[in-house]
Structure 1
Amino acid sequence: PPAEMARLFRDTPEAIEETAALDAALTFSLDELRYEYPEEMRADFATPQDALVHLAREGAAARYPDGVPDNVRQSLDHELALIGKLNYAPYFLTVHHIVEYARSQNILCQGRGSAANSTVCYCLRITDVDPRDGRLLFERFISSDRGEPPDIDVDFEHERREEVIQHIYEHYGRDHTGIAATVVSYRGRSAIREVGKVFGLSEDTIGALSSSIWGMGGGRVRTDEFARAGIDLNSPRMQKMRALAIEIQSFPRHLSQHVGGFVITRSRLDEVVPIGNGAMDERTFVEWDKDDLDALGILKVDVLGLGMLTCLRKAFELTEKHYGLSFRSFRDEQQNGQEFFTLATIPKEDPAVY
């Protein structure tokens, strides 16, 4: 307390005065250490927003070759203005770059979730759903009133997603990129195994008990499951074990890698967040989960794997093999007058397709 400090330094009051003067002169704030997203500058453009506006309008012209409808133009202007106001243009450019890379390698990808409400995402070819078709509300994706950052989930072929992941590391640098963490919690089987070991149960007993509750997920451990495993719950020791197994469910167990949430920073990653090496080769991860990142305003780019996209790619390859119709990236689909199949050109309402 100030009074105590004054008493301790009563013989040297000038020390108190100098300390107070130093305190008044200090201007440091923890905000100076805040996270900054990469600038994502593009050649020939003064700002990321200028680049985004150009790419979006160029994409709109490609999406609507017969002319951009007035309502689409108005929607595009509205979204671009809000994105510029909230300074999210670099984030959109990052996702656009990743999607363009995947398509350049003929890797199927598809944005989903609330990003499908965005005309900008549609024009950037991040999504293939025309927001006009469902009269989707853009503000569910981004709103200045909610104060939440955009969250664009992009699915890639699960067999080739690692190519995209390694490209992100190479393009942005391993000292600027890492995968977010996720907290794995105790659930039925893992809770039984953990507590069973502590109580000295045999591996056979633990295995029988944990197998009997397979499929319960995060649900509570039921008394009848113990009886099926031949355990007498009337003994005080078993009652204590059962109570502890129930109690630790949903407790954090360990950190694991997020399914695909990437953190990209302007400064070195280890200056912003704690990082670790993943169990998989060539992987580094951030030791914070998505809730921690959201609380600190750190944006993540979701690079997810989807098996169905791999199935679709194989279907395209079979179509090419048996019918001579080629699969190419979106940008090539009208070259040389040839006909190509992409996710964007599959007939949406054809019963034979669905």
Structure 2
Amino acid sequence: MAQQVPSHMQMQQQMQYTMQVAPQQPQPQHQAQLQAQAQARALPPHRQRPQQQQQQPQEQQVQQQFQQQQQHPPQQMEPGQQAQQSRPNFQMALLPPPQDRLYNTWDDLREDVKAFAKSQGYAVVIVSSLNRDPEGQYRRYNLCCGKGGKSYTSHSKGLRNTRSTKTGCPMRMKAIQEKAWPYNDKWHVIVQCAEHNHEPFTGGPGANAPAQFRKIEVDGMRWLMIMHREAQCNLRQLTIGIRISFGDKYQYVKKSDVRNMLAKIKRDEERKAAAAAAAQGLPSNATYTLIPQSHLPPPPEPQAVERLPQLPPDMQVPDPDMESDDDGDEL
């Protein structure tokens, strides 16, 4: 028997029934989200993750920003204020020395100012000295930051990779000895400019410490001389030893500083020995001293000298200096 073909009306009714009754298949882009929700329902409540907030459309974000700008318009700053805010400010980290202290001597002031500046992360150097008293001692010193001044242009041949550490720091101050009350011939500090244009030295690993923090004084020189000559310590042992023996005073000293100090001690001793040896056998009122033989320059090498040819016999004239003055005419 021939199979009955469904009519057009029957096919349309069947399609409507499937659309109403059959469940809709999820789209591929929502399958991952549905799976995550199903896993969250299966987990216990204390292990469920909070649902991520849906991101707002870009148009709503732009509209909110526009409303905020209308409610709080930006304040217009003057040119001077804008330049002041854009400039880096390290004043809170690099404080100037206190000005309310009186010192009995210049040495006391210098040591205290050096210690305070080191605790703040910068060094202080002497720029100039003024106003001598009748005894020849200075009564004023102009001081500045160790990074003050202009950086110089190096004219070396490039054998060592060095560069200037100066940044033109404007920090300035002066140390004065005043006689009037309430100073009573004591020293005090006057800060002329407290600003810095560089970051403080923190002393971290690999940091390049300022040269003022690596200066070896008389006590360190004496210790190096004894340990180098009597204990026969090498350069590395001397560097580690001076750091440990003096604590924080020489904690930034490097091997190059120890080498230079040993060379300086040797030069000073040779100079003193040469002066003592040269002073022996000289009159007390002599205005000169003798250079030791070891420091004299080597004698010049003999050089060939071109001599004039000898004159022929007929052109030779007797030397009048070789003739006798006795002519026999004397009575």
| TM-score category of the 2 structures, normalised to the smaller one | under 0.3
Structure with greater helix share of residues: 1
User: Scaled by the length of structure 1, what TM-score is found?
Assistant: 0.21
Q: Structure with the greater relative contact order (CA < 8 A, sep ≥ 6): 1 or 2? A: 1
Structure with greater strand share of residues: 1
Q: Give the structure with higher Rg (CA).
A: 2
User: Scaled by the length of structure 2, what TM-score is found?
Assistant: 0.22
